[in-house]
């Protein structure tokens, strides 16, 4: 993670502290105009309230650009030192600000350049040589984007770990596994929990790809046609920690694919979190009672004293809507753009900031809820219906050479007989069973035990204790070193058949 990411950087700016810099606008482009902007146009034009949070990145990019200009012989070393000192002074000044309210500037680039010129005089005007706000904003945004990706990855890992810890803790609890929300086959609770962790591992891997996309330096692209001066872009990239430079200046100023892919990743994570949340809402309901969310993550009702509401899960589920919406918004902005830079692109930041902020709030909360929830083995055990093992009954016959189709049919008959007599499958007598198929023997009752059923599925990715252990190890490896583009190597521990080994 980039240690330069300032703490609390995603906190929305507060506006209650007085600004120390006046609010007189300082347009960067006034020369060819006789009149100023109409007030209503100023409001539309202004992006400062959104791009304010890029100020550190703008200063960082500007300092690197000044060094680039010096290397290209466009600034004397005295001028370059003066500009660097000025930018550091601007940085200290902006540290004192809580937000842009009261500033009349158009955007953060204008603020920085104005404060620089106020600090060091006309030599500040040399900083923008060969640069446009188009390559500048694209650079600032990517500098921010790399930090955001690291932060998101850093917030996903604790949730994956919380799910894994809970899976280890609850490995002995056998619960109904569902299809169509109907009881299907028994699974360990840990298997359910890990089924919610793997999608998040894929989200981590997606973010790695976003980081690679973002890791391209646009600076030096100018407005669209590149820089007329001999600025060493490779050196600039090294200076700013980018591993590549953009190869086409027109693409360099207009490429926001990384931002769209970040938004896709955030939306996908939102969908995954929403699914986890839905499980928590459902399983914590009175009807299920499989789990209880910790006091710290539930709320009561102002009217109904008995209520214990799963707000953490509902809010997580609800916020996924705006994560999906932000992606749609961005794709819609990008869709109709003609060649080159277009001002529409200014709309890119709001969506990305909002999605990252949303996840920065949601992820820690849902992580805490998972870490502190308790499963109720009694309620889960009582919910297990014997029919969950109907498939095991068919598999029993298959092991005795009966073709699966017929075995399935015979098991179904037994379910029908049990249902008709208001019995559970295990209550059927051996005579009743052998009447349906002669291959049934005394040992059939063993396969009707949900724990045995779970233990019998020992394939990799299956439900046995050993398979679950191997899954946990594979998960830990995937989180440490997410596999990209390759089939992950098999986990070190191979699941043994029905070994009865339980997770540590």
User: Strand 216-217 vs strand 291-292: parallel, antiparallel, or unpaired?
Assistant: unpaired
In whole angstroms, how close is the CB of 110 to ligand ARG at the nearest point? 8
Q: Which of 15, 117, 183, 346 binds ligand ARG (CB under 6 A)?
A: 346
Give me the catalytic one of 180, 249, 453, 464: 180
Return the number of the residue (14 or 29) whose C-beta is nearest ligand ARG.
29
Distant-in-sequence contacts of 195-199, Cβ < 8 A, 24+ apart: 196/163, 196/272, 196/275, 196/276, 196/279, 197/160, 197/163, 197/164, 197/167, 197/475, 198/475, 199/272, 199/275
Please enumerate in sequence order all residues whose Cβ is within 8 A of that of 287, keeping only pairs 6 or more positions apart, or say none.
none
- ∠ CA 240-243-245, nearest 5°, is 85
Q: How far is the CB of 48 from ligand ARG (least distance, A)?
A: 8
Helix (H, G, I), strand (E, B) or coil at 217: strand
- In angstroms, give the least distance from the CB of 224 to ligand ARG: 10
Query: Contact between 107 and ligand ARG (CB under 6 A)?
Result: yes
Choose one: 213-221, 324-332, 338-346, 448-456; the region binding ligand ARG (CB under 6 A): 338-346
Please, which residue, 54 or 280, has the CB nearer to ligand ARG?
54
Taking the least distance from each CB to ligand ARG, the nearer of 133 and 437 is 133
> Which of 248, 252, 241, 253 is closest to 215 using CA atoms?
241
Confirm whether 206 is a catalytic residue. Answer: no
Using CB under 6 A as the binding criterion, the count of chain residues that bind ligand ARG stands at: 10
180 is annotated as an active-site residue: yes
Q: How far apart are CA 106 and CA 33, in angstroms?
A: 16
Q: Measuring CA to CA, which residue among 350, 371, 145, 368 is closest to residue 259?
A: 145
Catalytic entry in 76, 243, 285, 301? 301
CB nearer ligand ARG, residue 113 or residue 203: 113
Q: How far is the CB of 79 from ligand ARG (least distance, A)?
A: 25
Minimal CA–CA distance to 253: which of 221, 275, 296?
221
Q: What b-and-e string marks burial along 310-335, b requiring 16 or more CB atoms within 10 Å of the CB?
A: bbbbeebbebbebbbbbbebbeebbe
Measured CA to CA in angstroms, residue 351 lies from 178, 244, 267, 342, 345 at distances of 36, 26, 11, 17, 11
Site string for ligand ARG, 58-97 (x = CB under 6 A): ----------------------------------------
Site for ligand ARG in 284-323 (CB under 6 A): none
Give me the least distance between CB of 54 and ligand ARG, in Å please: 9
Which of 258/341 has CB closer to ligand ARG? 341
Contact range with ligand ARG by CB under 6 A, out of 284-292, 343-351, 411-419, 440-448: 343-351
Residue whose CB is less far from ligand ARG, 134 or 469: 134
Per-residue binding string, ligand ARG, 249-288, x by CB under 6 A, is ----------------------------------------
Cβ at position 265, least distance to ligand ARG in Å: 22
Backbone angles phi, psi at 165, to 5 degrees: -60, -45
Report strand pairing: 182-188 vs 174-179: antiparallel
Report the run of H or E that residue 145 belongs to, with start and end.
Answer: helix 133-169
Please give the structure tokens belonging to residue 401. 């050479």
Distance CA 106, CA 23 (A): 11
H, E, C per residue of 434-486: HHHCCCCCCCHHHHCCHHHHHHHCCCCCCCCHHHHHHHHHHHHHHHHCCCCCC
Residue span 202-231 as binding mask against ligand ARG, x where in contact by CB under 6 A, dash where not: ------------------------------
Which residue's CB is nearer to ligand ARG, number 206 or number 256? 256
Q: Which of residues 131-150 bind ligand ARG (CB under 6 A)?
A: 133-134, 137
From candidates 156, 345, 370, 418, binder to ligand ARG by CB under 6 A: 345
Q: Which of 265, 58, 44 is nearest to 141 (CA)?
A: 58
Candidates 10, 47, 114, 148: give the one binding ligand ARG (CB under 6 A): 47
Query: Which of 215, 344 has the CB closer to ligand ARG?
Result: 344
Q: How far is the CB of 302 from ligand ARG (least distance, A)?
A: 44
Active centre residues (catalytic): 180, 301
What residues line the site for ligand ARG (CB under 6 A)?
Answer: 47, 51, 107, 133-134, 137, 341, 343, 345-346
């Amino acid at each position: 993670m980039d240690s330069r990411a300032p703490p609390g950087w995603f906190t929305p700016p507060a506006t209650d502290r007085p600004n120390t810099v006046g609010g007189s606008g300082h347009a960067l482009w006034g020369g060819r105009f006789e009149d100023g902007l109409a007030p209503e146009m100023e409001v539309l034009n202004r992006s400062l309230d959104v791009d304010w949070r890029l100020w550190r990145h703008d200063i960082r990019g500007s300092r690197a650009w000044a060094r680039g200009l010096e290397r290209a012989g466009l600034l004397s070393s005295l001028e370059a030192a003066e500009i660097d000192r000025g930018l550091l002074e601007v940085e200290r000044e902006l540290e004192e600000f809580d937000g842009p309210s009261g500033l009349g500037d158009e955007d953060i680039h204008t603020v920085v350049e104005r404060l620089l010129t106020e600090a060091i005089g006309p030599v500040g005007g040399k900083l923008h040589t060969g640069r446009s706000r188009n390559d500048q904003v694209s650079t600032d945004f990517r500098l921010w984007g790399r930090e955001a990706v690291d932060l998101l990855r850093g917030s996903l890992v604790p949730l994956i770990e919380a799910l894994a810890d809970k899976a280890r803790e609850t490995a002995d609890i056998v619960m109904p596994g569902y299809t169509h929300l109907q009881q299907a086959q028994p699974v360990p609770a840990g298997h359910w929990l890990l089924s919610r962790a793997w999608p998040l591992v894929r989200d981590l891997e997606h973010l790695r790809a976003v980081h690679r996309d973002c890791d391209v330096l646009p600076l030096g692209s100018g407005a669209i046609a590149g820089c007329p001066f001999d600025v060493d872009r490779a050196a600039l990239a090294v200076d700013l920690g980018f591993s590549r430079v953009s190869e086409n200046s027109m693409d360099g100023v207009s490429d926001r694919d990384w931002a769209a892919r970040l938004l896709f990743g955030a939306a996908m994570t939102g969908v995954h979190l929403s699914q986890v949340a839905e499980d928590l809402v459902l399983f914590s309901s009175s009807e299920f009672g499989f789990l209880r969310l910790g006091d710290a993550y539930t709320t009561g009702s102002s009217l109904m004293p008995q209520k214990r509401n799963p707000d953490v899960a509902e809010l997580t589920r609800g916020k996924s809507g705006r994560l999906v919406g932000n992606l749609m918004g961005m794709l819609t902005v990008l869709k109709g753009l003609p060649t080159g830079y277009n001002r529409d692109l200014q709309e890119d930041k709001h969506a990305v900031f909002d999605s990252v902020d949303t996840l920065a709030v949601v992820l820690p909360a849902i992580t805490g809820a998972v870490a502190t929830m308790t499963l109720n083995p009694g309620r889960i055990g009582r919910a297990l219906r014997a029919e969950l093992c109907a498939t095991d009954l068919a598999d029993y016959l298959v092991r005795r050479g009966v073709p699966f189709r017929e075995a399935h049919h015979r098991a179904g008959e037994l379910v029908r007989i049990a249902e008709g007599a208001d019995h559970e499958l295990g209550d059927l007598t051996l005579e009743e069973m052998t009447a349906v198929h002669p291959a049934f023997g005394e040992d059939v009752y063993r396969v009707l035990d949900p724990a045995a059923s779970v233990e019998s599925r020992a394939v990799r990715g299956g439900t046995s204790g050993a398979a679950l252990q191997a899954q946990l190890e594979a998960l830990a490896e995937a989180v440490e070193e997410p596999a990209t583009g390759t089939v992950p190597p098999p986990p070190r521990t191979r699941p043994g058949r029905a070994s009865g080994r339980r997770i540590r």
